[in-house]
Amino acid sequence: MTEMKAGSCAVVIVAAGSGQRLGHGVPKARVPLGGEALLVHAVRGVLKSGIAAQICVAIPAGDEELTAMCGKLGAEAATAGLAFSVVEGGAQRSDSVYAALAKVAEGVTTVMIHDAARPLVPSGVFNRIAAALKDGAKAVIPALAVSDTVKTVVPANLPATGAGLEKVVGTPARNQLRAVQTPQGFELATLRRAYAHALTLDDEAASRITDDAMLVEALGEDVYVVQGSTHSFKITTPMDLLLAEAMLEGPLRPRWIEG
């Protein structure tokens, strides 16, 4: 296995999802945005930030196009002095992260886990996470305050007709809520411990895991929060793609710069 300078940072980019909600008929990482696939944007974002010594990408098994794309991205990474590895992802996002973690090189001590589906993350976000890790945090996530009020709901039937709706059972205080993004940064040893613990969870508990930080929270470790970016949104629906295209090419572009 490749050996890195001690204290290096690796970035895992998970790109093995099907992207069914986007309805493009191809894995989401291959969906074009401004003429380049989402995965290309995500990898170049990491290269531009300058924080990583290694990039590990998880792609769907048997995807020849993404394999070829990773060949070219690996050459770009090598030119920038970074190691580049590719692995087959798994059925769940966490399986893809786990597979990619196996490729992290000797000498790496911190890792950021990132979604290929977030192609426009500014360098400032990577830098804020790297700085907090350097300052001793074992887990750091980028987040934004939420602008909508958020309710907790359960299934419920209307009294007269029995029509199936939902009803509100709680309203968390909005000023304490944060919408969480990727990349999420970790001390490598802590994340490996968190994933080892995750392997012991039953299916029900595993299905409630929606980000990597939750696994570290389950260990009782502190997870610190740095400012995220409105540019870091995840491409999930066609509306998101429209917004990303507008950000790259639209009239707002020269006026809208956020780190």
Q: If DSSP codes are grouped into helix, strand and coil, which group holds residue 208?
A: coil
Using CB under 6 A as the criterion, what x/- string covers residues 3-42 for binding ligand C5P? -----------xxxx----------xx-------------
Q: Is 35 left (phi over 0), alpha (psi -120 to 50) or beta?
A: left
Alpha-carbon distance 95 to 99, whole Å? 6
Question: Token match 């304490």: residue?
Answer: 176
Query: What's the closest the beta carbon of residue 14 comes to ligand C5P, in angstroms?
Result: 3
State yes or no: residue 239 binds ligand C5P (CB under 6 A): no
State yes or no: residue 234 binds ligand C5P (CB under 6 A): yes
Question: Token match 């990132």: residue?
Answer: 114
- Interface region with ligand C5P, contact rule CB under 6 A, candidates 83-91, 153-161, 165-173, 218-226: 83-91
Give the closest residue to 69 by CA, choosing from 79, 78, 59, 61: 59
Query: What's the closest the beta carbon of residue 173 comes to ligand C5P, in angstroms?
Result: 26
Give the closest residue to 119 by CA, choosing from 237, 231, 258: 231
Give the closest residue to 132 by CA, choosing from 144, 140, 121, 124: 140
Query: Which of 80, 88, 92, 193 lies at the binding interface for ligand C5P (CB under 6 A)?
Result: 92
Query: What's the closest the beta carbon of residue 168 comes to ligand C5P, in angstroms?
Result: 26
User: Are the C-beta atoms of residues 213 and 194 closer than 8 Å to each other?
Assistant: no
Query: Which of 115, 211, 212, 221 lies at the binding interface for ligand C5P (CB under 6 A)?
Result: 115
Number of residues that bind ligand C5P (CB under 6 A): 18
User: Are the C-beta atoms of residues 27 and 15 closer than 8 Å to each other?
Assistant: yes
Environment class of 31 (CB within 10 Å of its CB; exposed 0-12, middle 13-18, buried 19+): buried
Query: What's the closest the beta carbon of residue 52 comes to ligand C5P, in angstroms?
Result: 17
The residue (of 4 and 15) whose beta carbon lies closer to ligand C5P is 15
Query: What's the closest the beta carbon of residue 107 comes to ligand C5P, in angstroms?
Result: 25
| Residue number of the CB atom closest to ligand C5P | 17
The residue (of 4 and 104) whose beta carbon lies closer to ligand C5P is 104
Residue 181 amino acid letter: Q
Query: Which of 54, 96, 229, 232 lies at the binding interface for ligand C5P (CB under 6 A)?
Result: 96
Give the closest residue to 17 by CA, choosing from 121, 73, 89, 100: 89
| Contacting positions for ligand C5P (CB under 6 A) | 14-17, 28-29, 58, 89-93, 96, 115-117, 234, 236
